[in-house]
Chain A
Amino acid sequence: MKVVVFCKSVPDTETRVKLKDNRLDKSEIKYILNPYDEYAVEEAVRMKEAGKVDEVIAISMGPERAREALRSALAIGADRGILVKDDALDGSDTYVTAKVLVKALEKDGVDYGMLLFGQQAIDGDTWHVPGQVAEMLGLPQTGSIIKLEVDPDAGKAVANRLVEGGEEIHEMSLPCVVTCRKGLNEPRYPSLPNIMKAKRKPIQDYSIADLGLSPEEVGKAGSLTEVLSYSLPPKKEAGKKVEGEPEEVVQALVKFLKDEIKVI
């Protein structure tokens, strides 16, 4: 069985977000492989090490820096990479992203048994793409799992997902789409020998023309949604402290709740 892991290059969690001309200022951002995708790569590599999977393919759509995210996935243990890169893709929404990734899977021709994703990307945080890909391909899907058992011979997978107050257990036929979260596994640190091996593993590049797509079908033109503006969250203001005797404090507090923030 082959597993495809979807990888995204995202700003490091310690990045301080700045805006410039109503867009993200990307000049000082350090990029990493989306941490949720690491759980997905780790899970796929573990399935391979357990002998259930014979090839792990990492795929990404993005600018040149997405190659580094793929390289990180290869260093964890993925076998090869696919990178869809094209200037026309700039400004694509999640619908276009899913469409392009599905096209790239078709182009590659990989006979996959499972598509693994991180449950969300820490930048856009939309949680859209896995579901969109599953819908486009007509595949069963589950998400935010903390346990995964795959039986390629029986053609099924069983996944446990956390829900409020308990766990749901989903059984699916293969191929299927699964999204991963913290708790599923502990991603390994890529060892030096594996970083060196990653350098020698192939990454196939595709442009949108290679995938049979026109510029009108991707980017802003092909998107169903549009970001109108960005704004930073308001600066946290200092809290208000009410001091004095209990009777006075209660009076002041009630007055504050009633008159100033009007919640009672």
Chain B
Amino acid sequence: MKFEFTEEQRMVRDMVRRFAEEELKPKAAEMDKKGEIFPEIYQQLAELGLFGVYVPEEYGGAGMDVVSYATVIEELSRGCASTGILVSAHTSLVVDPILHHGTEEQKQKFLVPLAKGEKIAAHAMTEPGAGTDVVSISTTAKREGDYYVLNGTKHFITNGKESSIYLIFAMTDKEKRHKGMSAFIVEKDTPGFSIGKLEHKLGIRASSTAELIFENCKVPAENLLGQEGQGFYIAMECYDGGRIGVAAQAVGIAQAAYEEAVEFAKTRVQFGQPIANFQAIQFKLADMATMIEAARLLYLKAAWLKQEGKPYYQLSAMAKLFASDIAMKVTREAIQVHGGYGFTEEYPVERHYRDAKITEIYEGTSEAQRLTIARNLLKG
């Protein structure tokens, strides 16, 4: 067993860490306030090849591996959690399924610009009446000649505002339940497709969360991803991979908060000495560092399993469950170390605390992760 990055993985981590430190961290608070990721960030992410980390070079990607990808998400999130989920949702939830289920034509037309970062993607399953219970979605797709006609409303869609390629899940046959769900690639300018309201959120405020509306939206039949009725399975695969991204994002948020806490503890003087001298603070820092390391190892193992083509959904569920949980604990304790200062906008830990919460919810709530894990260990 070898607990070491390859030379390329280390170079990627070092580069993204530096990029996040120099380019993202100084802008993160302002982007959070303004509720947008600045356009130059998209440009930089594309130039650095971060929108297609493990996409093969022939499709415009960097041709790297899933471990590099997950590490990229952690490092980006350490600088700005919204930027982390921008890349994670783009890659895990749209790029990945097109890479694995797309036809050659779909790959040339959609995957290449997505991997190069010329276009951004969003994945749309969730509806007002269907969260964890995805089979109850009410968006429908009806075949009419060379088209499918989509009707329905999606909400809480990450990257909803800035995307130009959407992966939409709709029922082609409601009777068949999960076997009647299909996935469609929809371009932004398709008639009948519009973007509805944007959400104002507790955290990851720079990441857009939009409502998508389909009114007799005619999608070319060749934009069906995989087979009719395969949508549910494609979606489940997406979430298995997406959980690695969210786990890495949670670790990045926790790491950022932890570093702030260490820095503050070393410089804040009370009772004539830095508060880092007090065991009460030292124990907090020790617990934080230990939890972060454990969560990081979990997501790295899940990423490695995926890269090796081995079953990884159990590990990715564990990684997401644990990492999101410790992100909440670490960010909460980071505020505690800061005392009253941590409760103000003067210090970034309040933002890390707000950003952490969503990792327990999206791409499968912590409760859903526990179900996945428990069902797997009790089966057979």
Contact = CB atoms under 8 A, between A and B. Distances in A.
Interface of A: 32, 68, 71-72, 75, 189-193, 195-196, 198-199
Interface string B249-261: 0000000000000
8 nearest CB pairs, A to B: A192-B49, A192-B62, A191-B49, A191-B48, A193-B49, A195-B11, A193-B62, A189-B19
Contacts of A68: 7
B19 A192 contact: no
B48 A71 contact: no
B49 A189 contact: no
A190 B63 contact: no
B18 interface: yes
Interface of B: 7-8, 11-12, 14-15, 18-19, 47-50, 53, 57, 62-64, 68
B19 A196 contact: no
B8 A195 contact: yes
A262 to B, nearest CB: 31
B7 A196 contact: no
Contacts of A196: 8, 57, 62-64
Contact of B57 (A32, A193, A199): A193
Contacts of B62: 191-193, 195-196
A156 B64 CA distance: 42
A195 B53 CA distance: 11
A145 B15 CA distance: 26
B7 A192 contact: no
A192 B50 contact: yes
Given A32-B14, A198-B11, 4 more contacts: A191-B48, A191-B49, A192-B48, A192-B68
B12 A192 contact: yes
Given A192-B50, A196-B64, A75 B11 contact: yes
B89 to A, nearest CB: 19
21 contacts: A32-B14, A68-B7, A71-B7, A75-B11, A189-B15, A189-B19, A189-B48, A190-B11, A191-B47, A191-B48, A191-B62, A192-B12, A193-B57, A193-B62, A193-B63, A195-B12, A195-B64, A196-B8, A196-B63, A198-B11, A199-B8
A195 to B, nearest CB: 5
